[in-house]
Amino acid sequence: MERLVKGILRFQEEVFPTRQPLFKSLADSQNPRALFITCADSRIVPDLIMQSAPGDLFICRNAGNIVPPYGEMNGGVSATIEYAVMALGIRNIIICGHSDCGAMRAALHPENLQSMPTIASWLKHAESARRVVKENYPHLGGEAMVDAVIEENVIAQLHHLGTHPSVAARVARGTLDLYGWVYRISTGRMLTYDSESGVFVTLSEKPLASATPRPRVRLAEPA
C-alpha cells in the first residue's frame, strides 16, 4: 500500500504539472474514442498497452471480459455499455481477452467452483465458449485448450454485445464498430478477430479487422 501512495504523490508532484492543460480540458467533459471491455487481471493495463492518454478510453473491467446478454443481468457492465453508446456517443467497442486468463481456466472446469458460487454463476456467460472448445476441439489439451477458450470467449461476448438494443441499433445503421482482441502477455502481441475469415490474426496484419456485422439500415441522405 505504501508503494501505491507514493505513486499518487509522485503523480501529483511530477506528472500532473507537466500535463495540466490536458487535465483541465477533461475536468468538465469527456469524449472517449472507444469503450474498452477487458479483464480485471492486474497484468492488463489498457493505457500502457495502447499508449492512450487520459480521456481516450472508456474502460469496463470484470473477470473474463464478459458481457452478459441484454436483460439477463442489469448490472454494471450493461449500464456501462448503455451509457457509453447513448450518452457518450461511442463509435467503437473493443472486447479484449488475454493469455493465461484465470477466469477462462475456471470456465473450462466449472466442477471446481463449488466453493465460489458467485464466480460460477458469472462464468455461465462463457459457457458457449467452453462448449465450442470441448465439442469441436477434442484434440487440444493444456495451454492450447486454454488459448482456444480465451479466443472463443471473445467471440461469444461479441455476440452477447449485439443483444444490447443500444448497440444493435447503431451497428444496424453502421455508426458503431465492434472489435475482438486477445492480448499476449509474454510477447506484447495483440490478436484481432477478423469476421471475414473467422480467425484471429495479428493486429499488425489487419489493424482495422472488424467483428461488426454489415450495416442493415441505409440512412437517408440529407435533402
CATH number of the domain enclosing 60: 3.40.1050.10
Q: Is 168 among the domain residues?
A: yes
Question: Per the domain annotation, does 25 fall within a domain?
Answer: no
Residue 159's Cβ-side half-sphere holds a number of Cα atoms within 13 Å equal to 11
Helix (H) or strand (E) holding 61: strand 57-62
Show the CA angle centred on residue 122, arms to residues 115 and 157, nearest 5°: 145
The reply to whether 17 falls in a domain is: no
3-state secondary structure of 199: strand
Confidence of residue 220 (pLDDT cuts 50, 70, 90): low
For residue 155, being part of any structural domain is answered with yes
What are the b/e assignments for 136-169, b being 16+ CB within 10 Å? Answer: eeeeeeeeebbbbbbbbbbbbbbebbbebebbee
| pTM for this entry | 0.91
3-state secondary structure of 74: coil
Tens of pLDDT, residue by residue over 44-58, are 999 999 999 999 999
CB of 150 within 8 A of CB of 99?
yes
CB 157 within 8 A of CB 37: yes
Question: Would you state the cell numbers that stand for residue 156, as one nine-digit string?
Answer: 461469444
**Is residue 219 over pLDDT 80?**
no
Would you place residue 213 in the very low, low, confident or very high pLDDT band (cuts 50, 70, 90)? confident
Estimate to the nearest angstrom the gap between the alpha carbon of 132 and the chain centroid: 20
Instruction: Tell me the pLDDT tens digit for each residue of 144-191.
Output: 999 999 999 999 999 999 999 999 999 998 999 999 999 999 999 999
Between residues 218 and 19, the one the model is more confident about: 19
Give a yes or no: residue 207 inside a domain.
no
Q: Residue 223: pLDDT above 80?
A: no
122 closest CA partner among 145, 111, 106, 134: 106
Task: Print the domain residue range for 131.
Answer: 33-202
Q: Which three cell numbers stand for residue 193?
A: 478477430
Residue 83 has pLDDT above 70, yes or no: yes
Instruction: Write out pLDDT tens, residues 105-124.
Output: 999 999 999 999 999 999 99
Residue 54 placed within a domain: yes
Per residue in 3-35, pLDDT (tens digit) is: 999 998 998 999 999 999 999 999 999 999 999
Question: Per the structure, how many domains does the chain have?
Answer: 1
